[in-house]
């Protein structure tokens, strides 16, 4: 998804600040050299005077003025470099120092976005995804099958494969995922795994718990003070490359929530924008809590994955406690 104007402006402002910082560094170094090597300042003045004089001659019709100017500038440049080195400074000490030499802190190199601009985009996407901290621990590099066995392992293995297929075909085929099942079986974890992979590939992924999502949609509808800003967030919810709604069913469900949920899912479906939903509700509870049209939308347009087993979070907590107890006992 392309950056919005405000997102683009935010990144470009950061480059403007980097350029100002580079100019300040150069001015400070130049002042230092002028103080320590007065002859260098004299050469700089000679460069300026020569350029002006030869420029006048060129405008006056002297065809050889440009060649003489180039030769003089090369000679003066060599003298300046020699002065720097004679006084213990590197030859490039008064060259601009940029954070990114490839684009000179402009964001663009050879007319295309520099790699540093792309990094800034991805960092901004992470910041706006609402799951920056989660993704440090919940990603495919930390995925483990050790907490599953038998039928539970088969379901989890299949869900992992579905997630990997979802990622690889993300821009080729519109599809959605719906993870449901018992508490602590990896539903949110897998949604984060997908989010990290897609964010790292430059996609805009937005994550909300169900409660956060409906609070945001409520403010965009009823809160006049924050309506404009919230309306912008609402558009991002509808238009982002991937929306993740985590823990559906934990919010206070009412007619407004059901209406907003359907509107959100329907809006994204019409735009062919993928969505991932996780919930601890069973399919029957999903139908009872929300409307038949929401149930139909999900079961018709989402790949449904059921995860079962023991609560992994509790298993990890128990294992960590046992390890701590063992260490305390040995000490």
Asked if the structure places residue 1 within a domain, the reply is no
Mean pLDDT over 15-23 rounds to 94
Which residue has 């800034």 as its token pair? 120
User: 150 with 280, same domain?
Assistant: yes
User: 24 with 154, same domain?
Assistant: no
User: 162 with 236, same domain?
Assistant: yes
Q: What is the pLDDT of residues 197-255, one digit of tens each?
A: 998 888 888 888 999 888 878 876 655 554 444 455 677 788 889 999 999 999 988 89
Asked if the structure places residue 175 within a domain, the reply is yes
289: number of Cβ within 10 Å = 16
User: 152 with 237, same domain?
Assistant: yes
Mean pLDDT over 142-156 rounds to 93
User: 283 with 216, same domain?
Assistant: yes
Domain that holds residue 93: 18-97
Q: What is the pLDDT of residues 21-76, one digit of tens each?
A: 999 999 999 999 999 999 999 999 998 898 888 888 888 888 888 888 889 889 99
Instruction: List all residues 6 or more positions away from 305 whose beta carbon is below 8 Å from its beta carbon.
Output: 155, 158, 159, 162, 177, 178, 179, 180
Residues 174-213 as b or e (16 or more Cβ within 10 Å = b): ebbbbbbbeebbbbbbbbbbbbbbbbeeebbbbbbbbeeb
User: 215 with 284, same domain?
Assistant: yes
> Of the ranges 7-16, 179-188, 220-229, 240-249, which one carries the lowest mean pLDDT score?
220-229
Instruction: List all residues 6 or more positions away from 20 whose beta carbon is below 8 Å from its beta carbon.
Output: none
Task: Work out how many domains the chain is built from and give that number.
Answer: 2
């Amino acid at each position: 998804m392309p950056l919005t104007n405000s997102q683009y402006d935010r990144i470009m402002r950061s480059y403007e600040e980097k350029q100002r910082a580079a100019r300040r560094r150069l001015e400070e170094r130049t002042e230092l050299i002028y103080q320590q090597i007065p002859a260098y300042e004299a050469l700089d003045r000679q460069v300026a005077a020569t350029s002006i004089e030869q420029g006048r001659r060129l405008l006056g019709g002297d065809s050889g003025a440009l060649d003489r100017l180039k030769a003089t500038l090369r000679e003066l440049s060599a003298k300046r470099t020699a002065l720097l080195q004679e006084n213990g400074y590197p030859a490039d000490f008064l060259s601009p120092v940029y954070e990114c030499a490839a684009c000179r802190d402009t964001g663009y190199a050879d007319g295309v976005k520099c790699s540093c601009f792309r990094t800034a985009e991805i960092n901004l996407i992470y910041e706006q995804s609402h799951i920056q901290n989660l993704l440090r621990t919940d990603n495919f590099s930390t995925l483990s099958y050790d907490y599953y066995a038998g039928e539970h392992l088969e379901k989890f293995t299949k869900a992992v494969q579905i997630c990997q297929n979802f990622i690889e075909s993300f821009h080729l085929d519109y599809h959605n995922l719906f993870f449901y099942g018992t508490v602590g079986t990896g539903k949110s974890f897998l949604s984060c795994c997908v989010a990290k992979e897609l964010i790292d590939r430059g996609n805009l992924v937005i994550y909300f718990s169900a409660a956060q999502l409906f609070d945001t949609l409520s403010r965009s509808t009823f809160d006049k003070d924050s309506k404009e800003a919230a309306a912008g967030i609402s558009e991002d919810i509808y238009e982002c490359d991937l929306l993740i709604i985590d823990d559906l069913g934990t919010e206070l469900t009412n007619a407004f929530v059901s209406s907003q949920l359907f509107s959100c899912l329907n809006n994204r479906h019409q735009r062919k924008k993928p969505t991932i939903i996780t919930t601890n509700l069973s399919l029957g509870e999903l139908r009872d809590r929300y409307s038949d049209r929401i149930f139909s939308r999900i079961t018709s347009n989402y790949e449904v994955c059921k995860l079962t087993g023991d609560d992994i979070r509790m298993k990890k907590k128990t294992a960590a406690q046992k390890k701590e107890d063992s260490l305390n006992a040995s000490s």
